[in-house]
Structures are given as structure tokens and as C-alpha cells.
Structure 1
Amino acid sequence: MRNKADLIIYLTIAFGGAWLAAIPLWNQGLQSASLPLSLAALQVAPTLGVLAVWLVTALRRAPAARQWARLTGLTFGDSPRRTIRYVAATWVGIPVLIAAVIAVSALLGVFPTDLSGLSGYRQAFAQGTHATAAVGTLTGIVVTTLFASVTAFGEEWGWRGFLLPRLLPLGYGGAILASGLIWGLWHAPLTLLGWNYPGLGPWAVLPFTAFCTVVGAVLGWLRLRTGSVWPAVIGHGVLNAVVPTMYLVVSAAGRLPDPLLGGVFGAVGLLAFGVLGWALARVRPAVP
């Protein structure tokens, strides 16, 4: 795992920063007005961890900035054209997968939708959040993903850019599993409050860690396949932007999907991303 001290520094700052960022939420709850600021600060913590390792490493052996950028995936890899193709495929493919997950969940009766009356959309419009609902178009997906990818980068440079390659001595499967579990547990300051799983309380840690593991398999494959963190950044940004938008547009007003079964964060979503991660690794090895 290369230098264990580097891993300790990174994980200490990433986890410590996440808990510090979440202090207002523990005092005021997830409905706090400080939620957007806390989320932004939390997502920056992994990047601060990478920068801290860089500074400590520079004191020891002064690595070239270009070498550090390549090692942590800031470049477009050995084949920029291939990386750009994967960015485009991710930008299109993940929204399609999210839509499929919602459709299957609706057919199974674990995601209440209202496509004919659009009651969820109309309720959002009445409450003054229609601008959010209106971005459920192709143009909106592009624009909102760009904005969401800015904060997603704060996580991805840490988890996929820095951490994942350093876990590869565990083997591909071991590195994907370990990085996914760590990433999931890093969200504990939020998930212990029930984040993404209304009514589940602290138990939300378990399903969301599983979710991070299967999604991490897809994002990790993109990172290793291209040698670049940017496809994973876009993939993460798409998830953060498109999931709430699609939920808002298609859901029945006042009704939520079954938190453990329906939607992207339930069993249907876990199965979809798990199968995708497995298929990618089987059809095309992560390392070209």
C-alpha cells in the first residue's frame, strides 16, 4: 500500500474534516439552513487530505507537480481521447441507468410515481421549487451535472484519485471493496442522521455503505481504466444532480420510495450498479 503514513494522514483529515463539517447538522438536524454549506465543506475534506499528503511528501522528496497530478488522476491519462469518450458515456449512461432503476422500482410497487398528473412536480412548483423540477431535461442534466461535479471533485480526487490506486496491492477486487467501504463509512456523519433513508435513523449507515461500495465499483473502474479521475468526477456529479431531479419530477406528491427497496439507494439501485460494476470488470479489465 506504498507509504502507510500517507494513508493515515489522508484518512485522518478526510474523516476528521467530515465530522467537523457535520457539527451544525448534529446540532440542528438535516433540515438545518446550514445543510448546503455543511455538505460543501464535507466534500472538500478528501481533497484537503490529498493536499496534506502532497505537502508532507514534498518535505521528504519534493515530487514534481506534474508527476503528482498524473499519479492522482488529474491528467486525462495515457489516452485523452479514450478518457473523453468515457466521460461522455458516463454522462449519458448513468442518467439512463437511474431512469431504468426508477422504472423497475415503480413496476415493483416500491416507488410511487405519478407520470400522468405529475403531482410531485406540481407540488414543487407550488412550493417555489419549480426551478429544480424544470431541470429534468437533457440540457438541465448537462448543466446541473457541471455544477454538481465541482463539489464531486472534492470527493473523487481523494477516494478514486488518491486512495484507490494505493489499495491495489490488495488486488483489483480487494481495492474496490476496501475503497468502497471506506467511502461509505466516511459518510457516517450524515447517514447516522438518516441521510437518504427517511425514518431509518442511524441504521442508514449500513445500506448507504453498501450503495457506496457498488457505485464505487463503477467509479473505480472508470478511474483505473482511463488513468484519470475525470470520468469518475462526472459520474459522481451525474448521480448528485440527476437523482433528486428525477425523483422530484416523476414521484407522487407526498410519497417517497421504499428506502430499502425502491429507487437508486434501495435494493433495486444496489443491484443495478452492482451488476454494472461486475460486467465492466468482466468485459473490459480495469487496467487497459
Structure 2
Amino acid sequence: MLRRHGLLVYLAVANAGMWAAMSPLLACGYQRGSAREGVGALQQACIAAAMCAPALAAILVIRFVERGGRLRDALALRWPRPWWRTLRACLVAMAVPAGLTAAALVIGALAGRYPFGGAHWSGLGGWAAGAVLSMLVSLPLFFGEELGWQGYLFPRLLREGGRAALVRAYLFTGAAFALWHLPTLLMGGQYPGRPWYVAVPAMVLSCTLVLPVFTWLRLRSGSVVPAVIGHAFVSSVSVGMVKEFADPDATLDPLHMGITGWPGWIVMGLFVAFLAVTGRLRPSSDRCQRIVSSSSPHRTSGGGTGRGPARAASPR
């Protein structure tokens, strides 16, 4: 009962925070006109505030509703160990979304829906370095999202109840993740020019397909950090890739290109199917027990230090 109450409070606070953060833009009738349109200072401030809402909701629930031990342990906020495992996890978190985005652009170009403008090899290295640097600068904001979705929500939906419970955890987290974006979808944020009844189902499908990728990054490392990096890459560098390789004079429609369009749904669907068939989306019984126990509101840290659970949750 306490766990369910915590979940409801988390969802209520996370969504209320999103709507509150976006209220200045909604009040002034802001609408994003095109996928190439930049954002001003007010839009950036509202987006930054909104991205903090899931983490703040998770912290609130853990501290005052579930009272479930140290935040670092409860949200898997740790670096994979040893150091080489951290490096590998971070590189995979960038390489996989980059490969999925490239494959989606190829499919879109072959189908005649992505206006490929050619690769400018001479400046590609500088662009890539700048894009990754910009992603790293914005990384703290993505902790604000993934500490909520991967750190809090998914583990608490996970049960040792077999495949059906695991599928429910993926689907519910994906849907909650997508519908949390509803205020931005109403303003054309992810799908400019599209009505809400097109944008919302498209976002639900996109989030439901990309969520297992982020969860796989979290499960294979025992840490939420690679999921944060993967999310940051998808939301910044992947979007930049769509613009970088497109004809500069062409209109860009996210519904037909990149990760958030039907080409991305194809490549993500195939990749998620591969992860599922090979058992990579299902935690081992050992790890499942660790994830569930670390998210338990009744967990106590060993001897008051919290070292026992932290060691248990670290990857082998």
C-alpha cells in the first residue's frame, strides 16, 4: 500500500511540476513553428525547470513518503566500478543512440522522406566535438529526468513476478514518460505543426520504444548514469544529427525522420526486439532482487552506513 501511495505521489508531483514550469509558455500561447526553430531565454528557463521535476518528485517521495534509505542507493546514483566499466558504459550510452539515429536517417533517406544534404567530412569532427560538449554541459538537467524515470519509477514497478510484470513495468514507465511531455506536445515542441492527436500517440510510441534502450543501459551497468547519458544524447546530439546531414533549405518533419519518427521506430523496434530475444531486458534473478530491495520503502541500510546495499547493487 505504501509503495502504491509513493508511486501516485511521484506521478502527481512530477506532472504538476511539468505543467507549472510550462505555464508561462502556455499562458502566452507559445507554439513552435518548425523543427529548425531555436528557443529563447524564457523557453530555455521553462524547459530547465520542467526537467528537474521528476528528480524532485522522486526525492520528495523517498524522503517523506517511503522513507526508504539513502538517496544515492535508492536512485542507483553511482558510477559503475571499476573505472574501465564506467568508461565502457558511457561510451556505449553514446554509441548506441548514434548508431540508431544514423540507421533511422538512412531509412528515411532511402524512403525519400529525409532530405539528405550530404556529409561535410571536413567539418564533421568539429561539429561532433561541439555537439558532445554541449550535451555534457546540459547533462545535469537530464539527471533531473532520469533520476525519476529510471532511478525511481521503473525499479518500483519491477516485481519478481515473471515476464508479464516486467512488460507492464516497461509499458507503464514508457507511457508515463511520454504523457509527462503533454504540455510541450500541445505547444508543438517535439512535433511542430502537428495537432495534439497526432503528436501524443507519436510521442507515446517513441518513448515506449526508447525506454527499454535506456533501461538496458541502466541494468547492464547497475547505475542510472549511463541512462542519463543515453537520454542526453538522444535529446541533443541525435536531434543535431538530423539537422547536420539534412539539406539546409529543406523542411524537417520529425514525424518522418530521426529517432522520433517512423524510421526511428523501425530501428528502435528491431534493436529492442534483439535485446528482448537475447535476454538483455530481463534482469537476472540476482539483479532483480537487488533492484527491488534497493527500491523498497522498508529497506534499512546496513548498520546505518548504507554500505551493504551499495555493494550489493554494484555490477559484477
Q: Where do 5+ consecutive residues of structure 1 fail to align?
A: 119-129
Give the Cα–Cα distance (whole angstroms) in 1 for the partners of residues 145 and 107 of structure 2.
29
Give the Cα–Cα distance (whole angstroms) in 1 for the partners of residues 15 and 185 of structure 2.
14
> 2:239·2:258 contact (CA, 8 Å) conserved in 1?
no
Could you state the TM-score of these two structures normalised by the residue count of structure 2?
Answer: 0.77
1:17 is matched with 17
Give the Cα–Cα distance (whole angstroms) in 2 for the partners of residues 2 and 279 of structure 1.
36
Give the Cα–Cα distance (whole angstroms) in 1 for the partners of residues 79 and 240 of structure 2.
29
Kindly state the Cα deviation for residue 69 of structure 1 after the two structures are TM-superposed: 1.6
Give the Cα–Cα distance (whole angstroms) in 2 for the partners of residues 248 and 260 of structure 1.
14
Give the Cα–Cα distance (whole angstroms) in 1 for the partners of residues 138 and 269 of structure 2.
23
Q: Which stretch has the larger CA shift, 107-116 or 8-17?
A: 107-116
Kindly state the Cα deviation for residue 100 of structure 1 after the two structures are TM-superposed: 2.0
Aligned residues: percent identity? 32
2:3 is matched with 3
Give the Cα–Cα distance (whole angstroms) in 1 for the partners of residues 193 and 255 of structure 2.
11
> 2:97·2:238 contact (CA, 8 Å) conserved in 1?
no
- The one of 156, 163, 166 equivalent to 1:166 is 156
Give the Cα–Cα distance (whole angstroms) in 1 for the partners of residues 2 and 150 of structure 2.
16
Could you state the TM-score of these two structures normalised by the residue count of structure 1?
Answer: 0.84
Give the Cα–Cα distance (whole angstroms) in 2 for the partners of residues 198 and 16 of structure 1.
23
> 1:135·1:245 contact (CA, 8 Å) conserved in 2?
no
* Number of positions where the alignment pairs a residue of Structure 1 with one of Structure 2: 268
Question: In the TM superposition, what are the counterparts of 1:4-83 in structure 2 within 5 Å?
Answer: 4-26=4-26, 27-31=28-32, 33=40, 34-57=42-65, 61=67, 63-65=68-70, 68-76=71-79, 81-83=84-86
Give the Cα–Cα distance (whole angstroms) in 2 for the partners of residues 135 and 36 of structure 1.
25
CA offset digits 1:104-146 (Å, max 9, x no partner): 2112111112127x7xxxxxxxxxxx9xx99632x22431221
Give the Cα–Cα distance (whole angstroms) in 1 for the partners of residues 249 and 75 of structure 2.
43
Could you tell me which amino acid in structure 2 is paired with residue 144 of structure 1?
S
- The one of 156, 176, 180 equivalent to 1:182 is 176
Kindly state the Cα deviation for residue 97 of structure 1 after the two structures are TM-superposed: 1.9
SS of equivalent residue, structure 1 residue 260: helix
1:194 is matched with 188
Kindly state the Cα deviation for residue 77 of structure 1 after the two structures are TM-superposed: 5.4
Q: Could you say what the CA RMSD is over the residues aligned between the two structures, in angstroms?
A: 2.5
> 2:80·2:86 contact (CA, 8 Å) conserved in 1?
yes
Question: In the TM superposition, what are the counterparts of 1:1-288 in structure 2 within 5 Å?
Answer: 3-26=3-26, 27-31=28-32, 33=40, 34-57=42-65, 61=67, 63-65=68-70, 68-76=71-79, 81-115=84-118, 136-137=127-128, 139-169=129-159, 171-203=165-197, 204-286=199-281, 287-288=283-284
> 1:43·1:155 contact (CA, 8 Å) conserved in 2?
yes
CA offset digits 1:51-103 (Å, max 9, x no partner): 1112214xx75x442xx322311023577754542221121221122122112
Kindly state the Cα deviation for residue 174 of structure 1 after the two structures are TM-superposed: 1.4
Kindly state the Cα deviation for residue 253 of structure 1 after the two structures are TM-superposed: 2.6
Give the Cα–Cα distance (whole angstroms) in 1 for the partners of residues 46 and 126 of structure 2.
24
CA offset digits 1:24-65 (Å, max 9, x no partner): 2212414573111111111000011011112214xx75x442
> 1:29·1:193 contact (CA, 8 Å) conserved in 2?
yes
Could you tell me which amino acid in structure 2 is paired with residue 193 of structure 1?
M
Kindly state the Cα deviation for residue 245 of structure 1 after the two structures are TM-superposed: 1.7
